[in-house]
């Protein structure tokens, strides 16, 4: 059985990334080979967001001391963590997607050396990142390309949403990509 692949989604603005995670969850509800891990946070602004589980700071710290997070970070005074074991899912051939942070990407890559980083950007943020690469998959208003570095960080994949309101298309593109054999491309280049 082929092992699953691990994907780490980073990018700005966060609302686009959150909308994309919502679309990914919606489109993969019945998919057994893709798992999207929930993010635990102390940020009250995200309390009612379906992609996050809100906890108090003391609860977050208790969970951290208990070793319940496979990854955690702090951003703008709020704690974030990915709970659960990822290895058993990967060993079963399940592709796992993690909601990540640009601030935490180097820690994530150190912890998970085979991590596939996908930088998400919109047309409005396109010029703020150096992402010269070549397209892997494209659809109306969305493109996914392979690059060696993006904004100085090893980031093999960049998903650009050219139009507003294309998060379902972008999610479908990521799903198609993660389920294809193209994911080994960066390891061969």
Whole-number pLDDT of residue 128: 45
pLDDT on residue 55: 95
pLDDT tens by residue, 12-49: 667 778 888 888 888 888 888 888 888 999 999 888 88
User: Does residue 49 share a domain with residue 6?
Assistant: no
Are 26 and 44 within one domain? no
Same domain, 122 and 70: no
186 pLDDT above the threshold of 50? no
What's 68's domain CATH number?
3.30.63.10
SS (H, E, C) the chain: CCCCCEEEEEECCHHHHHHHHHHHHHHCCCCCCEEECCEEECCHHHCCCCCEEECCHHHHHHHHHCCCEEEEEEECCEEEEEECCCHHHHHCCCEEEEECCHHHHHHHHHHCCCCEEEEEEECCCHHHCCCCCEEEEEECCEEEEECCEECCEECCEEEEECCCCCHHHHHHHHHHHHCCHHHHHHHHC
Kindly state whether residues 169 and 154 are assigned to the same domain: yes
pLDDT, one tens digit per residue, over 48-92 is: 887 889 999 999 999 999 999 989 999 889 999 998 788 888 889
């Amino acid at each position: 059985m082929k092992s699953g692949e691990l994907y780490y989604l980073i990018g700005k603005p966060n609302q686009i990334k959150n909308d994309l995670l919502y679309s990914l969850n919606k489109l993969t509800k019945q998919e057994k080979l893709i798992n999207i891990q929930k993010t635990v946070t102390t940020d009250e602004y995200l309390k009612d967001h379906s992609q996050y589980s809100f906890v108090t700071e003391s609860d977050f710290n208790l969970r951290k001391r208990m070793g319940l997070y496979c990854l955690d970070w702090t951003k703008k005074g709020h704690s974030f963590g990915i709970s659960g074991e990822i290895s058993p899912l990967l060993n079963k051939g399940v592709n796992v997607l993690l909601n990540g942070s640009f601030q935490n990407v180097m820690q994530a890559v150190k912890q998970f050396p085979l991590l596939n980083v996908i930088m998400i950007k919109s047309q409005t943020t396109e010029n703020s990142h150096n992402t010269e690469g070549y397209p892997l998959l494209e659809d109306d208003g969305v493109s996914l390309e392979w690059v060696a570095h993006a904004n100085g960080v090893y980031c093999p994949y960049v998903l650009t949403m050219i139009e507003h309101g294309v998060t379902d298309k972008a999610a479908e593109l990521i799903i198609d990509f993660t389920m294809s054999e193209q994911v080994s491309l960066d390891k061969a280049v």
